Amino acid sequence: MSTAIEANADGLIGPTHSYAGLSPGNLASSLNKGEASNPRAAVKQGLQKMRRLHDLGLPQFILPPHERPNIPFLRSLGFAGTDGEVLARAWKEALSFAAAACSASPMWAANAATVTPSADAADGRLHFTPANLVTNLHRSLEHAQTRRALQALFPDPRRFAVHEALPPVAHLADEGAANHVRLCAAHGEPGVNLLVWGREAWEPWDGPYPARQTREACEAIVRRHGAGRPVLARQGKAAIAGGTFHNDVVCVGALDTLFFHELAFEDTDTVKADIRAAADGLFEPLFVEVSAEDLPLADAISSYLFNSMLIQVPGESRLTLVCPTETQENPRSRAVTERLVASNGPIGRVEFVDVRQSMRNGGGPACLRLRVVMTEAELAAANPAMRLTPELHTRLDAWADRHYRDTLTAADLADPALLEETRGALDDLTGLLGLGSGFYPFQRDPAAALA
């Protein structure tokens, strides 16, 4: 048994952050479709949240944005010419593909990968499977570059196993850590791995919105990671129908505590019994369940109470819940947080962070981060250039001021000048994060970069 701490790796929000309505079943994404975004405010909000977590004493890493607009993707669809021409033609002839190619969706790092800490893995390494994200076109374009970023951050194969994504087919649809909760007595001790799925691979699906994760994807990840004590649970069908596109919209857990909405699971009693059985001999799980009477599902989803970060602040005995400001503004959700703190339960403190730009696409504080439980030796082996320090925060803030627009509409995404701007930003960023000059496709193929 070793001591370990829970680090966070957040997706740095990219310069094409926009509201394109690309995710059916994600109500915020649909509601805000076509609104102007503010990429500069977005990236600064994300950085501020990272800084807060750093200041609370948790190691904080950065996952760089992907190259967008994604010209190689558009070329694969037959659009030809200079990069600027490819972009212009795609926007003219294939609007939905062009919009997908411009999405800054890799910011939501909870969907980057499923993570198995070394304490749970059969071979004692820290495992990552990048999520194939096949349910939504724009997100299916992420996993290869995500893998590259994870390999840059976790470079030593003796300690870290960064797998390929599962085969990108609907039968193995995988959305990463957003559907995974690890419970344990202490981070460095073996834990219980709760993996939540929405449908079975061959099940006819008739829900109003897609179920994004299959049971078979969860099983494959458990097998390849050698993950101990798995518990597989079915997402509530009513929850999906109400707009719960990932389980982390209605459930979050940390250490021995699972905090969730009554409708999160199809069969809550079985989930609890299975977790208790899997935890037997390790710890006694604590279930903090919020009823639909206290908090209707619609309020849970619009206020994102459960899409909060549940963290152990070093030196504190009770957990802290880091919620979006929207939780504070919803009277019912706020009342739940007040009751949590006033009770003698496991959650002793609630903080609020402003990530409004991301929230308007359905991405709360928990969506923006990938949790990685790490031993001291693993922390020492991670790439220090990708770890947030106050100095790096200041540099990245200034970088955002130099390169990001403060307003972006769908029409702006077709602007060839944006292509140059984003490449300039990413080129500069590879220097700031020590990523080397072949990290992005446009850097590996400079001829193609001439717009």
Residue partners of 116: CB distance under 8 A and separation at least 6: 126, 127, 193, 221, 225, 226, 227
Task: Choose, from 138, 246, 261, 403, the residue flagged as catalytic.
Answer: 246
Helical pair 39-55 and 390-403, crossing angle rounded to 10 deg = 180
The reply to whether 361 sits near ligand SUG by the rule CB under 6 A is yes
Scan residues 232-261 and list those touching ligand SUG (CB under 6 A): 245-246, 248-249
The CA–CA distances, whole Å, from 196 to 177, 201, 242, 247 equal: 10, 14, 17, 7
Task: Choose, from 67, 142, 175, 262, the residue flagged as catalytic.
Answer: 175
Q: Which of 16, 103, 118, 129 binds ligand SUG (CB under 6 A)?
A: 103
The reply to whether 46 sits near ligand SUG by the rule CB under 6 A is no
CB nearer ligand SUG, residue 21 or residue 230: 21
Q: Which of 11, 191, 210, 363 binds ligand SUG (CB under 6 A)?
A: 363
228 three-state secondary structure = coil
Active site residue 246: yes
The reply to whether 105 sits near ligand SUG by the rule CB under 6 A is yes
CB nearer ligand SUG, residue 264 or residue 392: 264
Q: Minimum distance from CB of 249 to ligand SUG (Å)?
A: 6
Asked if residues 302 and 31 have their Cβ atoms less than 8 Å apart, the reply is: no
Q: Which of 7, 43, 86, 110 binds ligand SUG (CB under 6 A)?
A: 110
Element (H, E) at 195: strand 192-197
Residue partners of 437: CB distance under 8 A and separation at least 6: 427, 430, 443
The reply to whether 362 sits near ligand SUG by the rule CB under 6 A is yes
Scan residues 142-201 and list those touching ligand SUG (CB under 6 A): 178
Pick from 67, 349, 372, 108: nearest CA to 246: 108
Q: Minimum distance from CB of 289 to ligand SUG (Å)?
A: 20
Q: Minimum distance from CB of 110 to ligand SUG (Å)?
A: 4
Active site residue 102: no
DSSP 8-state secondary structure symbol assigned to residue 163: P
DSSP 8-state secondary structure symbol assigned to residue 440: S
- Laid out side by side, the sheet with 369-375 consists of 60-63, 4-11, 369-375
Active site residue 367: yes
Where in the sequence numbering do the catalytic residues fall? 175, 246, 367
Using CB under 6 A as the criterion, which residues of the chain lie in contact with ligand SUG when the complex forms?
18-23, 26, 29, 103, 105, 108, 110-111, 139, 178, 245-246, 248-249, 361-363, 367
